[in-house]
Amino acid sequence: MKDRVLITGITGFVGSHMADYLLKKDVKVFGLKRWNLSRLRNVRHILREVELVDCDLTEPLGTYEMIRKVRPTKIFHFAAQSFISQSWNHPLLYMDVNYRGTVNLLEAVRSVGISPRILIASSVAMYGDVQKEDLPMTEKTPLNPLNPYAVSKIAQDYIGYVYHKTYGMHVLRTRAFNIEGPRRDKIFGLPWYAYQVAQIEAGSQSPIIKSGYVGAKRDFIHVYDIVEAYWLALELCKPDVYLIGSEKKKAIHTFDEAIKGLIKLSTYNGKINHEIDEIYVRPTNETVVVGDCRKFEEVTGWEPKHSFYKLLGDVLDYWRGFIREDLY
């Protein structure tokens, strides 16, 4: 019997790439969409290959009915409010979607009486601004969130642990570093920079890239690598928490380096400048985010295959295509 794999957040950035990855395997793919809110542009190329189910995870009855209908054997839980900057303005919304939505999902699985393997995808934003002497961070590093988004993800992570310990559910929790790639919305840093470069190339913007704080160091992961990691996690890992990323120097870069790399890749003939704009600066920011991911690597053998500069090129090409097609 084929695995019945459910992806919450299938119409989003990581979820749509996860669907692409799974369709190369012998599984049946289901995805959640909200009937009046979800954008389908990220999955328009696979609409005939996946089964989309209308469901809003903040509604417990609808979530129960969805689980009763789909009866998944594996669940990749990606549905979330994830734009950090807006979490200060909408903290209850973030808690409602990220925490309560997860409770409704886990409770529906328990109530229906099935035993799928469940992956809850979280973020190292939960750790906050870790002191230099405490780096690299590990699964045991204390959580010190700096924004409401991170608080909601801690709640989500911990409720997954509670359902595993209380009910024996196979829930594993991953904390990934900066996932980037095609289809990530331009409200986030790297796609926003790439979008501006593509706009400059198209003659639709003056040759100035505007950004917020760009000195933060990050472990950048290509989305093509992370979906493989998530698959291996559900296949090979026991219910526990795992950091996913790479501590190798070639994966660690600042956002300033990302901007310079995008400018270097640009076909624009003139000079592109960069300036900080206060409207893009967050109230707080993690300055260095790097970790020790050996626990996950030892279990799965996973390591990223795509370089930082391959990532920059893929993101820039995506936004060039978007502008050509006038999809915004």
Cis preceding-peptide flag for 148 (omega within 30 of 0) = no
Same domain, yes or no, for 37 and 132?
A: yes
**Strand, helix or coil for residue 208:** strand
Which residues constitute the domain of residue 253? 185-218+249-291+298-325
**Where residue 131 sits, what CATH number does that domain have?**
3.40.50.720
- Write the CA distances from 150 to 219, 222, 305, integer angstroms: 17, 21, 28
User: 49 and 64 share a domain?
Assistant: yes
**Same domain, yes or no: 214 and 226:** no
Give the count of domains, the chain: 2
Note whether 206 and 82 are same-domain residues: no
Based on the fold, state whether residues 38 and 50 are members of the same structural domain: yes
The DSSP letter of residue 99 is I
3-state secondary structure of 118: strand
Under a CB-based contact definition with an 8 Å cutoff, are residues 46 and 56 in contact? no
What type of residue sits at position 268?
Answer: Y
Residue-level pLDDT, tens digit, the chain, 328 residues: 799 999 999 999 999 999 999 999 999 999 999 877 678 999 999 999 999 999 999 999 999 999 999 999 999 999 999 988 899 999 999 999 999 999 999 999 999 999 999 999 999 999 988 888 888 899 999 999 999 999 999 999 999 999 999 999 999 999 999 999 999 999 899 999 999 999 999 999 999 999 988 888 888 999 999 999 999 999 999 999 999 998 676 778 999 999 999 999 999 999 999 999 887 777 766 666 778 999 999 999 999 999 999 999 999 999 999 988 765 4
192 and 119 housed in the same domain: no
Same domain, 132 and 213: no
The reported pTM is 0.94
Burial 55-69 (b: 16+ CB within 10 A, else e): bbbbebebbbbbbee
Q: What is the pLDDT of residue 290?
A: 76
Question: H helices then E strands: how many in the chain?
Answer: 11, 13
CATH code of the domain covering residue 284? 3.90.25.10
Q: Residues 80, 133: one domain?
A: yes
Same domain, 96 and 140: yes
Indicate whether 121 and 28 sit together in one domain: yes
149, 190 contact by CB (below 8 A): no
Single residue among 229, 244, 259 that ends a domain in this structure: 244
CA 109, CA 120: separation in Å to the nearest integer?
14
pLDDT at residue 251, rounded to an integer: 74
Are residues 22 and 155 both part of a single domain?
Answer: yes
**Residue 202 and residue 163 share a domain:** no
CA distance linking residue 322 with residue 98, whole number of Å: 29
